[in-house]
Each structure stands twice: as structure tokens, then as C-alpha cells.
Structure 1
């Protein structure tokens, strides 16, 4: 068995590649320099040459609110090109099994909580990351369409907010968890007496450790077609992957402060935007299939901080 993991250097892709290797699967990878996934001809030539048995599409251009707001054209163009090229060329070369990794931002901004799979395309998206979300929705629909027209077995998973070793800790372009870890670490190192967090601290977010995401992805990829199809529908073929609980940004900040050793004051700047007040995935369909996460939030934050300390010289630079 040879599986191409697109995006193997990213946080999720590297975790999936590692677990596949542990299972004895031959993992095929390419760096961005070796293979530009936005180049249709290069992707076609790769699939012709490699003859892989399956694909995990974890490659994407990702970033936080600031990055999505600043580079909307880059986010929609690059992600659409990656998805179209990889999914189509996988089909053209005879690959029957593919797993596409999406994002919880595919759901409407004002969606009922927790977010169910059938909420897709029922409302307006969050404006700050709409281009990225549209691209991810297109990836889901690509998989659905090839399944309907050609009988392929292309599956999609929608993770909640992910964190863990290999995350992006860039001071401006990272997501909330790595951003807080870096900020509190630097405040502790500098002996700062105060750390200011944007917003009121009341929004709630759900966080899933990347190792749990990797396990869930392979669990879904390995499901027999009849079991997978019994828990999905032709027009609803994606599956949510979440932790099952959420936490306020204030409580998350206090947890990160404790883990990093920060003993100063945490101040919340209510003049700054909160963003969406709650984002919690309904993962009951996946749970009904027999999978649950195993990494507790506090344990995961401690492990992530240890990884950051080991890579602080290069993390997010």
C-alpha cells in the first residue's frame, strides 16, 4: 500500500504520515519545492509516475484572521488550485480512495451550536475567512461529485481548531492557541507584568490535538464503504471531527499562562473584536461510528509547549 500525503510537512499532514508509517504503509511525499500542487501539469506527471493507491489531501494555505483578511486572493486561489489538481489527477490516474481535510469555517457564521454537518450552505459565511471557506467547500463538493459521477470513494473530514507539535507559532499569522503560547512564553521570558488579549475573553472555542485528528482521519479512511455510506449521504459526505467540549478564550488564556509559568495579570481589551462567539462541532456521527478523542486539553497544551520550547528558534519565523 502506497499513500500520497500531500502537505506532509504541515502539522496535520506530518502527524498522519507518522501514523501511517507506524502501520507499515509506504508514505509518498513531496516538498513544495519538489512538487507545486498548484501546477496542473506537474501534479499530473507526479500521479502518472508514482501510481499511488490512496491520497490524503492535507496540503493547504492556512492562517489566522489577520492572514485571511490580508491575503484573501492567495487563500482562495491556492487552495482551489491544490484541491482541483490533486483530486482530479488522483481520479485520472485510477486512485479510488482519497481523504480530503477541510475546516470548521465551512459552516455559516450564525449557525446553531453545536455545528452539524447538514448546516453546510445554509447561511452566510464569516466574512474574515470567506475566501478560504469557499475553497474548502469546493473541495468537499469535488469529492462528492466524483463519487456521484464516477463511483470513487473520496471522503472528507472537517476538523475543529487543531493544535499540537508542528503548529505555526508566527506572531501575526498563527491561530489562537499557538499565538497565546508564544505570547505568554515571551511575556514570561521578559518578566512582563501584564498580557493583553483581544476581545472580552467570552467567546468559546473547541480544540483538538493533532494526534487525535490523525487517528480520526485514518479511522475514517479505513472504514468499510458500507459503514461509511451508512453514516453519510450522497450530498452530505463530510464528517465532523471535534473534541466534544469547548472552552472560553479567557479560560484558555489562563491555562496557557499556567503552563508557560506566567504569573502576571491577564487583561482583556473589549474594544477589540471577539469574532464568532461560539464554534463547537457536533461530532456525534463520528462517535456513533466508534471513535472518540483521547488527548485532554491540559495535557495537549503542556505537550505543545514542550515542543515549542524545543523548536523556539525556528517556530513561526
Structure 2
């Protein structure tokens, strides 16, 4: 399997054969779903509901880490939380075919939540709190955590090693990324230790599907250890929406509001990590097609300016005081 094009050999026939190997009967209908890190297909099944086949990116997660994700999903499902968990075949959820690791889940439809609706935000807050009650029972052993090494150092090195970064921008990028790292470190130190728990990890609106019965979550691919606020801030457009989320959340679980002061640091880490993720995956043909702007020097110049702006905001004493006061 080529690491330059890790999914080049994953043909539609392989996808159908992998589903058939589980004892299901594909009817030939395939729909590629919007996913870049992994490859995800909706597969039609004879006389049954379609399934979702997720083929894991080679070498990203260990088998132990994927199985830990599956166990967490099953634990949540067993607690009657609306989260799509993988199906088991012969007692196994992590499956292998043609050199790929994959999992099948039921297909669940839905629409994006309305982040302008206080009622929907409170509902999401209640659901996230219930997820966190389960997540706080025990730690992950294999899936890492939300930290500077994962979200700053590794992506920064990927960018510096990438031909995407213009040579005349390299020194400026290094300085900007290091400033973000230093600013994040100071913010984390100022906030102090906060409780770490198992998280969804990538709780943005695209991973929430809303139906007439309410929301359900999909995609635990980025599940890690981290602070509770990580699963809240990407759903909050402003202070009012965060307050609506917390109104629902605190009906089920206590929330330490000092964690709100972490949001600027988490936002900065995510922005830096996103650029590093694109750089690290540029060899995958799906990435130049999906993110063509990353091939332009002006985008990297703007990215450097954005990083300096993020660092400035984090380092401003008044900004920190305001955030700590809100907490």
C-alpha cells in the first residue's frame, strides 16, 4: 500500500467485498461521503438499511487505539446515548480486508443543528454532559490527549518539512508558531490543572445530526483525553450560545467555569493544527483537490499573520483577565 496515495487501491469493488465479507449483501449502491482523513462510504444492502463503511487511514491510529474508540462508542450506546456505535461481526468491530482496517456502522440520517436556537443548544449541552459523565469513568490508555505536543509541535514540524511552505516564509512561520506555543503555555499555566476526561474531541456542527427526535453524534475518530470545554466551544458562536450550552450541561454535570479561559488557547491550537494537518496529508490526492488554497504562497503569508494575531490575543494581560473573570 503506497503511503504517497494511501487509498489508491481502495476500489469500489474492494468496498463492496469488504461489506460482503461481513455476511451482508451489498446491492451495488455506493455513495462516497465527505471525509478526508479516512474514506467513508454509504453502502446499500439488499432488503435492509444501508450501512456506513469507514476505512481507517493507514498508520494513523494503532489497533488498540481504534478498539478503544469503539469501546467508548459502545459504552455510550449501552447507556442509551444517541451516538452511532460500530457493528460487531463475530464479536469483532475492527475488521480487515485487502490490507485496510475498517468498521461498519448503521446509517443514521439527520440535518445540521441550529446554533442560533437556545433550545437546541441547551439540548446539546445536556447530551454532552451525559457523554462526559460516561467519559469521566475511566481514562483512555491509547488515544493521547489534547495538548501542545499533539496540536502545536507535531503540526508545526509537518509544516516546516512541507514543500507547501514557501522558503521566504519559513523563518516567519517558525517565529509565529513558537509565539503561539509560548502564549498557549502561559494560558494553560494561568488557568492551572483542570480535570481530564474522555471526550468526543471534534465536537463541531458537522458531527451532530438533528432529527425530529433530537440530536445524535457521529465520528469519534478524534476522541482523546482533555478538558470538558473542548466538546463545547466549537458549538458556541458567542457568549450567549455558550451560556445556553452550559444551561443544559449543568442540569446533568457540574462544569468548572474556569475552563472557559482555555477557549482562546484551544482555538489557537486548532487553527495551527489545521494547517499542519493539510501539510502532513498533502501527498494524499484528495487534499490538493479539497484545499487548493494551501498551494498558494499568499495563504501561508496570511496564516502567519493569523498566528501572530492569535498569539497577541493570548498574551494580552487584559484579555486573560477578562477570560478569567468570565470563568
Give TM-score scaled by structure 2 length: 0.24
Structure having the higher helix fraction is 2
